[in-house]
Amino acid sequence: MATGNFFQEVEVPEQKPQGTHGVLFPAVLSPTTNTKFTVFKEAIRVQKPWLESLLNERGVILFRGFPVTSPSDFNNVVEAFGFPEAPYVGGQAPRTKVIGRIYTANESPPDIRIPFHHEMAYVPNFPTKLFFFCEEEPGSGGETPIVLSHTIYKKMNKRHPEFVARLEEHGLTNKRIINDEDHSSSFTGKGWKSTYMTDDKNTAEKRAASLETKLEWMENGLKVTTGPLAAIRFDERNQRKTWFNNLAICKTCPMNGKVDDHDTYVELGNGDLVPDDVKEYILNIMEEECVVIPWKKGDVMLVNNMMVLHARKPLLKPPRSILASLCK
């Protein structure tokens, strides 16, 4: 089936110019003509090398105006790209399978803000690509902000070079205490059974060990310690360092040891705590540099998880239904 010049790049008001050439972030693609879903799938397969190149250049592609109307359509889009599926073993967010390779996005209360993070940066086996699909657009709020990770690294290194040097040397250690069952009141509220996809403690320990994670069983819960893991990574394709960690999403104070806390804590790999002013600056520059494009029904967003952090703004007016798929 011929696809011709099926994709065209368009502009939306929220995009921001990046770098010396002012290339817009993210890339936004629309169809050149009205088309059927089968043609869209075939165009993805035929033009996948160009789409991947664009993704690696820009960090995010937003597909807008394409005939994607259901979770099944979204699953077919993901499969058309042909990226291997990334398992969610060790993942902290409550999620539910919808169909095929498609899951709900984080199921914590939609009025809760989720800070910027790289997906599963707290384990060594993280996805490299993320797909999001707007099944039902929000009445107001509920956007998925995105920000380029190398920009955050450059600003952090300029403002806090000594801390960044220590971060590069020691990495980060993630800690949390969880119990058996999921708690959807928190965006990191998965219990150990669903985190490690088993109700057997020995199996959980083996799966945790493969993720450089240590489990300590407690009377009413489980202490989970992962790392230290690299918090600054080098993007070989673009020859630059990236701020590849979830520091903004974690508490930087000592753990309180409560099972019902459902929070994640982070410290430097040598045990030092992250200074409060460093954490505050991180949050501020992420908000300053991010791009926030309101969702429209049918939108598909493809994110390079190695280059881009994402977040979630509080939903101000329901409804909202965003689905996700993780890829290696």
Q: Any idea where the domains of the chain sit in the sequence?
A: 7-109+125-137+294-327, 149-285
The superfamily CATH assigns to domain 7-109+125-137+294-327 is: Clavaminate synthase-like (3.60.130.10)
Grouping H, G, I as helix, E, B as strand and the rest as coil, residue 11 is coil
Q: One fold for both 7-109+125-137+294-327 and 149-285?
A: yes
Cis peptide before 314 (omega within 30 of 0): no
Q: What is the pLDDT along the chain (328 residues), one digit of tens a residue?
A: 344 589 999 999 999 999 878 899 999 999 998 889 999 999 999 999 999 999 999 999 999 999 999 999 999 999 999 999 999 999 998 899 999 999 999 999 999 999 999 999 999 999 999 999 999 999 999 999 999 999 999 999 999 999 999 999 999 999 998 888 888 778 888 889 999 999 999 999 999 999 999 999 988 789 999 999 999 999 999 999 999 999 999 999 998 877 666 789 999 999 999 999 999 999 999 999 999 999 999 999 999 999 999 999 999 999 999 999 999 9
Which architecture does CATH list for 149-285?
Answer: 4-Layer Sandwich (3.60)
Distance of CA 155 to the CA centre of its chain: 21
